[in-house]
Structure 1
């Protein structure tokens, strides 16, 4: 009996050594859980009684139990490495067999599936094309294809219009148009303003060029002036004679501006008729002078855009020379702002200037012009996208308007819209009207309390101003429903201004979002604490590709280890409870991390010594029993 007792002890000690050695061997195995041998004593017993003096029959291994305690979490350089902080197991698909593991060393195979280092696919909750997570479980896959572009169907602007802004109404009077400076020689005058003040005394010199007179007038407060010289050669020359003289190879024509800038044109340079003369003038260094042959072909119009005095003469070898009877002087174009009330001549003036200058009508000159920032109060731009993913710049302009009615409790703004320099939404003809109440809140846009503007006339174009092949506006008569249904089929989109306010503070864009983007390539992956895989693309977009699933068991100790740091479900473990990380009793996910083995090397080395001592002690039991037996055998 002693032999059997000692032998069972050797077997038990050997199993203990095996378990301890296995723990030590896997001290660096990611996700490994240590085990311990559990023993029970043996007694011989009968059916009804174990006797009055029972003697033990040795020991047996009752169980090898694993410890599923949390291991340390270590950071790695792999973004797809995951560690579970808390309860739960990763769910792995091993060719149809479901396994469970705490080892989160994951990567991507050639088909884009997330796998462990044994090519088992990680299970999770899949997402649709828009990144919405579902409750459907399947193999997680990272699509490496380019992200398809998405056209803009909604633009939401949250901004504040400054209620302190004034109405940009600029009224002027046309005081003189096509006014010849010849009528102003020697005049002296002053400008009278609405506040009763007057300008300095202004004197027009005899024969003074129109450009100088315009500069003198334009330097006065509230006055705008320009000059231009325009005439036909027939006003100065006998055109029949000139046409005849052009046939002389010695023909020479000289043009002088303000008594200088002399340029000579010669028959020897190829001038033979009026057409070649006009072409020579246009190609000369007189950049501001343009010549054009009349439709009848018998006259030339001369225009100097600066209003310089033009003098001209020509000579021929046989007939001598001709010149202007008098230099051609320019005309004035003069306007004045509302603050100008009149023009006063002095005692030496003729009064002719006053009579001409006071003529004209009052008109508004600052009608909305997107190129002139003086014609709108505020503007903001954002990038939108067509169906091909091409970017376009959209600008919204806001113009303060006179308050409706008596101006109490309501304010109005006009809204203009432009895409790539072209007006859209019909605002080139009629702007949208935004009305605000006494609290600065938006009441309506063109009567719509939702504050929405539908842009349904946009044709996406390329840099040359030609349609670029993207979807265009809806067909005539086709109704545009808001919000734009998916998938969109036209370039129509909605501008949502419902959050716009009009407070007494500076104009500001609080938020501006649109739902379009261009195509993008996969640039990286991120994993959240909830196990959601986010794909990042080169166009700045990100999208959820799926969510890692975790499984928990009522009896974790009932799982059966099958190698590769994985376990399988058994009858003892119960069925798995699968859910999302960080929900219920399931732990959270730590990205770029792995869970280390929970083996305590110090304790295992001590256990190794204990198992060795136990083995030696049981061997001593057998040795002693053998010695006693030998003594009996040696009896004679």
Structure 2
């Protein structure tokens, strides 16, 4: 026995206690990963023919590795918090720098320029969203969430899913001509909201009157109570379109569509040229109008032997909206919510994966850097390849088992005491040898 084995054991046990202490200190650190000391024995190789009988020279620290197991995910009240469920790391970078760092800590904030940043000011990386597809694409860059509102969109298409009562009888000769103000001149009606070029709301009403032709209905329209198309002085309102149904009650699109002033049918959608006022001031609104076409689809209309009903109303217009909040879905798409009810994709968060996670080097502030041992990062959208999914409004806790660490600390303390005892024993042996007479 020599002092060397005991000293190496003391050093290894002390290092183990340091790592355990660091784990305990970071038990509540979001995204922190447990570290583990890995030991290796030491043997002298000078006398190869005696290596099997060598007692060994002690112990050494082979590595301090981090265990990248999944931590538990807990919900928070902050919509900017994000948790990774599965493999992957958030990519972050200092403003203006290409060098990236990686983290599992999803505590992000909005800075004064609306960038998503870590607590240390590093910006979260992601992709811009293609408005036509709603998916992220392009070059990886800083995620900036605009705080501006969105402009209105005029209604250009709309769709009505209705059922017209097949039990309705053909109009009698005594039935009055259609009139907006006479409910006996039509069978049923419904209304929907549409938007003009300035985002002002208007009410588009449609009225349905059965014709003498079997399975055929005329469609009349009004905007804010005014006939569309407008009625000439002393004239009667003309139908804007016609709906024809097959024997099974489904709409016959080849015989349905718009009607012009001569009664000529143009098959397809019922196209209405809506006369929006050019200004809402003064009160009452200006009589000057600007025309905007709306294609009204009745492809889901039916004629069954049941009461009139509306099953679906859609239109593509909306008024102006102010930003009210954000949310993140499982694929990393950051959805911006607006006061007009619209939800638009603002950006997509990117995640990075590494062939060898153990090769990453921790640099503090919950960050890791890539090394040659880790390999280059494979960056993509969450949920693709080997990457996990995102959960918005949640955080990943550390994967450190506090109870296990306390037990390991007791074992490490015992190991330290035992190695100290070997040194004490060696000292007693030398003292006995020196005191021989």
Cα drift, residue 590 of structure 1:
2.5
**Which residue in the other structure is 2:117 paired with?**
115
Counterpart of 2:84 in 1: which secondary structure? strand
**Which residue in the other structure is 2:261 paired with?**
none
Counterpart of 1:437 in 2: which secondary structure? coil
Structure number with larger C-alpha Rg: 1
The reply to whether residue 415 of structure 1 matches residue 219 of structure 2 is yes
**Which residue in the other structure is 1:143 paired with?**
146
Cα drift, residue 551 of structure 1:
2.1
Alignment of 1:439-518 (within 5 A): 439-443=248-252, 444-446=256-258, 447-450=265-268, 452-456=269-273, 458-460=275-277, 462=280, 464-466=284-286, 472-473=290-291, 491-518=292-319
Cα drift, residue 104 of structure 1:
1.1
Aligned match of 2:136 in 129, 134, 137? 134
Structure 2: distance between partners of 1:429 and 1:45: 105
Cα drift, residue 110 of structure 1:
1.4
- Between 1:30-39 and 1:155-164, the stretch displaced more is 155-164
The reply to whether residue 574 of structure 1 matches residue 372 of structure 2 is no
Tell me if structure 1 keeps the 8 A contact 2:229–2:238: no
Cα drift, residue 59 of structure 1:
1.1
Cα 1:539/1:131, change in 2 over 3 Å: farther
Counterpart of 2:415 in 1: which secondary structure? helix
Cα drift, residue 86 of structure 1:
1.9
Cα drift, residue 467 of structure 1:
5.3
Cα drift, residue 514 of structure 1:
0.4
Cα 1:57/1:430, change in 2 over 3 Å: closer
Structure 1: distance between partners of 2:34 and 2:418: 26
**Which residue in the other structure is 1:381 paired with?**
191
Alignment of 1:286-435 (within 5 A): 366-403=176-213, 407=214, 411-425=215-229, 428-429=237-238, 431-435=240-244
Cα 1:459/1:53, change in 2 over 3 Å: closer
Structure 1: distance between partners of 2:52 and 2:76: 64
Cα drift, residue 117 of structure 1:
1.6
Tell me if structure 2 keeps the 8 A contact 1:36–1:64: yes
**Which residue in the other structure is 1:541 paired with?**
342
**Which residue in the other structure is 1:316 paired with?**
none
Which sections of structure 1, spanning at least 5 residues, go unmatched?
Answer: 172-363, 474-490
Tell me if structure 1 keeps the 8 A contact 2:165–2:303: yes
Structure 1: distance between partners of 2:5 and 2:417: 14
TM-score, normalised on structure 1? 0.62
TM-score, normalised on structure 2? 0.88
Cα drift, residue 426 of structure 1:
6.0
C-alpha deviations, 1:241-279, integer Å up to 9, x for none?
A: xxxxxxxxxxxxxxxxxxxxxxxxxxxxxxxxxxxxxxx
Counterpart of 1:506 in 2: which secondary structure? coil
Counterpart of 1:629 in 2: which secondary structure? helix
C-alpha deviations, 1:12-50, integer Å up to 9, x for none?
A: 111111101111111111111011111111111138545
Cα drift, residue 155 of structure 1:
0.8
The reply to whether residue 438 of structure 1 matches residue 247 of structure 2 is yes
Structure 2: distance between partners of 1:75 and 1:149: 34
Cα drift, residue 384 of structure 1:
0.4
Cα 1:47/1:627, change in 2 over 3 Å: closer
Tell me if structure 2 keeps the 8 A contact 1:113–1:142: yes
Which sections of structure 2, spanning at least 5 residues, go unmatched?
Answer: 232-236, 259-264
Aligned length: 417
